[in-house]
Structure 1
Amino acid sequence: MKTNTKWSIILILVIVACSVVTGIVYNSLSDKIVENTPKYDNKDTLDIASLIPDADSLKPLDIQGGDEAVKEVNEAYAGDELKGYLIKTDSKGAYSTLSIATAITIDGKISGITILSQKERKDWEMV
């Protein structure tokens, strides 16, 4: 009985020591952690021209029915000339929802894809 109590106390002390060290390290690095945390949500800063060359404005299309993953469809214009379409979709990732914008030119080619937002955990990736 004395041996079990002794090892239990040692184990508890080791756990407490590890917790204290972890807390100290986290507190000393918290500014760097915030600084290096990636910012994935760029919904408000979508660069249309990088997805569809020459396009400078979007005009939303009214979509009804169809696939529920499609959240928004826009026509992309350069002035009054139709340059293509920008489709915003949501897709289920491993741990969260991925919001993706796909640009398609008027000749049917994909001209760009960008991730608008995602909350996937990089530290859980398989290597």
Structure 2
Amino acid sequence: MTMPPDSPTAKQMNNVKIIYGLYALGYFVAITTLVGAVLAYMWRGNDRMADSHFTFQIRTFWISLLIGLLALITMVIGVGFLIWIFLTVWGLLRVISGFLLANDGKPVSNTKYLGMMAE
């Protein structure tokens, strides 16, 4: 789907891609993930297609935070390390699949594989 570069949808989709980039950068500098979540909340509400991505990104943030806390708590019994590995793979798949959809100009309509991938 090709959009004129100056259309509101194209601008919003660029914002979506920026947030996916911040989430990916969050694997190296954690604060960028929080910045991405705040921006997703701020930018949501102007475009249906972009909003599907913003909602997906916001859910990714909160679910990751909860799984991360679970991993931290269960580190004492050794299970936390496995949960961290799962969280890393889960988060990367969500970021990559969401970015690819945004790059193609498609909304997030659903998830598959335990919520790991946007479709």
Give the TM-score normalised by the residue count of structure 1.
Answer: 0.25
Q: Which has the higher contact order (CA 8 A, sep 6+)?
A: 2
Structure number, greater radius of gyration: 1
Give the TM-score normalised by the residue count of structure 2.
Answer: 0.26
Whose strand fraction is larger, Structure 1's or Structure 2's? 1
Whose helix fraction is larger, Structure 1's or Structure 2's? 2
